[in-house]
């Protein structure tokens, strides 16, 4: 499939003449593909660090990696939200940040199995806080129990391969057989998962996701929050080891060098993010219009525990689809809770027949696409704080 791109490259030859030879020689730079997934990071001697390093490969909002770990014993530790890694403009009540705690726990549990342990997870051991507040209390206490089952997880391979693929898809419609297969493996009954390829529904979803991105673009704090997590070049990826960048939109090779060094730069975009916002809308149009299968997950209540478990359910869904060779990508703008978004969100939930009062926790597109570079992860030790 021919990949279209986030940034349309005009005047590529003119741009190239301005490139210095040092930029052209980027091939000697450390591989950005391996930041946070190299052998040293993953082959930790300490089983706690080992499963945490794998858990860090889970999907999480804006690749913020909002996790903090406090060790409590030779095989046990607390998971906290890292209060310095929130997204207050687009996720004002930190719902998505809590989904990102659940994705971490799902991956952790799979990694524990792979390495002959069972992860015993006690949620909110010091009490749960409200869905609109955030308190310095652990989200979970995890104890790694020796497993006698020698139980390799059937999803471990998917855990290593999974990625949120943001390039255009191929308008694929999931077949009844595939839907049945997903249903068989999906084991989070409290978080109903719905898929649709019906043309009317697909049309409604596409239109809404694009409209939602336009609304997001109207808030300068929201755009700046995304810009702050956008990594404009490999140097930024290496330095911050979080976020996502040009290469994760499928732009590679010489075009990537041109985009990173000629067309996009942080100073310019931070001063005036209007072009960046326009590109985000164009990208959303390409993403939405190239998908003909969408999935969404709801919950009847929306406590912090629901959000964490919904994160687990989302991660599991993504792993199942990865195993099936399908690409998947969340498009969350319409679900965000800032005031400007609420009227569109309300209408959307009604159009998709979500029962009144229920929460849509995730919405995503599904299809086929080539894989892109993996997003980076920080070093596992950076999560450890006293």
Ligand X SMILES: Cc1cc2nc3c(=O)[nH]c(=O)nc-3n(C[C@H](O)[C@H](O)[C@H](O)COP(=O)(O)O)c2cc1C
Q: Which is nearer to ligand X, 117 or 365 (CB)?
A: 365
What stretch of H or E contains 103? helix 95-114
Contact status: 330 vs ligand X (CB under 6 A): yes
Contact status: 215 vs ligand X (CB under 6 A): no
Sole window of 108-116, 158-166, 204-212, 232-240 interacting with ligand X (rule: CB under 6 A): 158-166
Structure tokens at 53: 């390093």
Q: Which is nearer to ligand X, 138 or 311 (CB)?
A: 311
Shortest distance, position 214 Cβ to ligand X, whole Å = 14
Instruction: Report the 10 Å Cβ neighbour count for 139.
Output: 28
Shortest distance, position 275 Cβ to ligand X, whole Å = 19
Q: Which is nearer to ligand X, 153 or 164 (CB)?
A: 164
Q: Which is nearer to ligand X, 77 or 244 (CB)?
A: 244
Q: Which is nearer to ligand X, 67 or 117 (CB)?
A: 67
Give the relative orientation of helices 199-217 and 220-229 as an angle to the nearest 10 degrees. 100
Task: Rule CB under 6 A: choose which of 5, 41, 63, 167 binds ligand X.
Answer: 63
Q: Which is nearer to ligand X, 51 or 334 (CB)?
A: 334
Contact status: 131 vs ligand X (CB under 6 A): no
How far apart are the two ends of the chain, measured CA to CA in Å? 49
Q: Contact 384/71 with Cβ under 8 angstroms?
A: yes
Q: Which residues pair with 229 in a beta bridge?
A: none
Q: Contact 280/264 with Cβ under 8 angstroms?
A: no
Judged by CB under 6 A, the chain residues 66 through 105 that form the site for ligand X are 96, 99-100, 103
Contact status: 375 vs ligand X (CB under 6 A): yes
Shortest distance, position 242 Cβ to ligand X, whole Å = 9
Task: Rule CB under 6 A: choose which of 68, 113, 166, 316 binds ligand X.
Answer: 166
Q: Contact 51/117 with Cβ under 8 angstroms?
A: yes
Sole window of 78-86, 147-155, 230-238, 331-339 interacting with ligand X (rule: CB under 6 A): 331-339
SS3 274: helix
List Cβ neighbours of 267 (8 Å cut-off, separation of 6 or more): none
Shortest distance, position 12 Cβ to ligand X, whole Å = 26
Q: Which residues pair with 296 in a beta bridge?
A: 194, 363
Using CB under 6 A, count the residues that bind ligand X: 19
Judged by CB under 6 A, the chain residues 3 through 62 that form the site for ligand X are 59-62
Q: Contact 242/64 with Cβ under 8 angstroms?
A: yes
Sole window of 68-76, 79-87, 160-168, 274-282 interacting with ligand X (rule: CB under 6 A): 160-168
**Cα–Cα distance measured from residue 94 to residue 98, given in angstroms and rounded to the nearest whole number:** 6
What stretch of H or E contains 80? strand 76-81
Q: Which is nearer to ligand X, 66 or 138 (CB)?
A: 66
Encode 176-212: b = buried (16+ Cβ within 10 Å), e = exposed.
eebeebbeeebebeebbbebbbeeebbebbbebbbbb
Calculate the dihedral angle through the C-alpha atoms of 231, 109, 296, 216, rounding to the nearest 10 degrees: -30
Q: Which is nearer to ligand X, 5 or 103 (CB)?
A: 103
Shortest distance, position 189 Cβ to ligand X, whole Å = 20
Q: Contact 363/295 with Cβ under 8 angstroms?
A: yes
Contact status: 273 vs ligand X (CB under 6 A): no
Q: Residue 209's closest CA among 60, 348, 368, 61?
A: 348
Question: Given the rule CB under 6 A, which residues bind ligand X?
Answer: 59-63, 96, 99-100, 103, 163-164, 166, 244, 329-333, 375
């Amino acid at each position: 499939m021919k990949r279209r791109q986030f940034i349309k490259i005009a005047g590529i030859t003119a741009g190239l003449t301005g490139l210095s030879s040092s930029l052209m020689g980027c091939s000697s730079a450390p591989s950005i593909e391996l930041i946070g997934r190299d052998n040293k990071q993953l082959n930790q001697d300490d089983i706690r660090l080992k499963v945490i390093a794998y858990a860090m490969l889970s999907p999480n909002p804006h690749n913020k990696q909002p996790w903090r770990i406090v060790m409590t014993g030779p095989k046990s530790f607390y998971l906290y939200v890292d209060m310095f890694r929130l997204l207050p403009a687009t996720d004002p009540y930190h719902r998505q940040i809590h989904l990102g705690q659940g994705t971490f726990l799902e991956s952790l549990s799979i990694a524990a199995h792979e390495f002959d342990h069972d992860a015993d997870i006690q949620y909110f051991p010091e009490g749960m806080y409200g869905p609109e507040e955030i308190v310095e209390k652990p989200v979970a206490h995890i104890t790694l129990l020796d497993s006698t089952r020698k139980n390799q997880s059937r999803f471990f391979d998917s855990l290593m391969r999974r990625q949120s693929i943001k390039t255009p898809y191929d308008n694929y419609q999931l077949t009844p057989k595939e839907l049945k297969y997903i249903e068989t493996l999906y084991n989070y009954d409290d978080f109903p998962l719905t898929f649709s390829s019906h043309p009317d529904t697909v049309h409604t979803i596409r239109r809404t996701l694009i409209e939602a991105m336009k609304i997001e673009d109207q808030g300068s704090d929201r755009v700046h929050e995304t810009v702050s997590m956008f990594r404009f070049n490999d140097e930024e990826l290496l330095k911050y080891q979080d976020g996502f960048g040009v290469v994760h939109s499928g732009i590679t090779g010489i075009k990537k060098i041109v985009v990173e060094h000629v067309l996009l730069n942080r100073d310019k975009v931070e001063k005036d993010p209007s072009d960046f916002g326009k590109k985000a809308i164009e990208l959303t149009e390409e993403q939405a219009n190239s998908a003909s299968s969408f999935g969404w997950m709801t919950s009847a209540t929306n406590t912090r525990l629901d959000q964490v478990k919904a994160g687990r359910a989302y991660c599991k869904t993504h792993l199942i689809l990865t195993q099936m060779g399908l690409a998947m990508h969340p498009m969350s703008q319409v679900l965000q809770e800032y005031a400007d978004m609420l009227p569109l969100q309300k209408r959307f939930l009604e159009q998709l027949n979500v029962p009144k009062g229920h929460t849509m926790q995730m919405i995503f597109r599904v299809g086929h696409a080539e894989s892109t570079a993996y997003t980076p992860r920080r070093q596992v030790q950076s999560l450890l704080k006293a």
